[in-house]
Amino acid sequence: MNRQTYIAKTGEVDRRWIHMDASDQVLGRLAAKVARILIGKNKPEYTPHVDVGDFVVLTNVEKIRLTGAKADQKTYETFSGYPSGRKEYSYRWMLEHRPERLIRGAIRRMMPRNRLSRKQLSKLKIYCGTEHPHQAQRPEDVEL
């Protein structure tokens, strides 16, 4: 009996478009689920060195939430490289002004640190509100 392990090839991958509503979802749990779909671990043909993941369209990202007192305690930092170029933002400020950056960073940190994951992260589309320009791809709605 000849049993061989299936290895996906880049041209053979069937990619779907998935739409998720981020309303009232916990940030870390949502990021873990989305990262798993982007990497392709939810598919039986998952191959670690080939991008087999699907496209993900996230809407209503301004309505995500954190558990506990993290909304007041959690901060995000940026550094421009110049003297006194360090800035610190609270979670509340980020949620009001840049919610898409908040969720993209959380998903990025859930993925492996390599060139392939950077390519996989480009399949993530994040939008505030319910409207998105990907209706032509007919994304299927997935409940979280």
CATH number at residue 30: 3.90.1180.10
Residue 4 lies in a domain: no
Q: What is the DSSP string of the chain?
A: ---------GGG----EEEEE-TT-BHHHHHHHHHHHHHTTTSTT--TTS--PPEEEEE-GGG-B-STTHHHH-EEEEE-SSTT-EEEEEHHHHHHH-HHHHHHHHHHHHS-SSHHHHHHHTTEEE-SSS--S-GGG-PEE---
Report field, pTM of the whole predicted structure over 0.85:
yes
Residue 53, number of CB atoms within 10 A of its CB: 28
Tokens linked to 18: 């998935």
Domain that holds residue 59: 14-66+96-141
Residue 28 lies in a domain: yes
Could you say which residues of the chain have pLDDT below 50? none
CA-wise closest residue to 73 among 58, 53, 88: 88
CA-wise closest residue to 39 among 144, 121, 140, 126: 121
Are the C-beta atoms of residues 27 and 66 closer than 8 Å to each other? Answer: yes
- Give me the pLDDT at residue 4, please: 86
Residue 80 lies in a domain: no
Number of domains in the chain: 1
- Give me the pLDDT at residue 1, please: 62
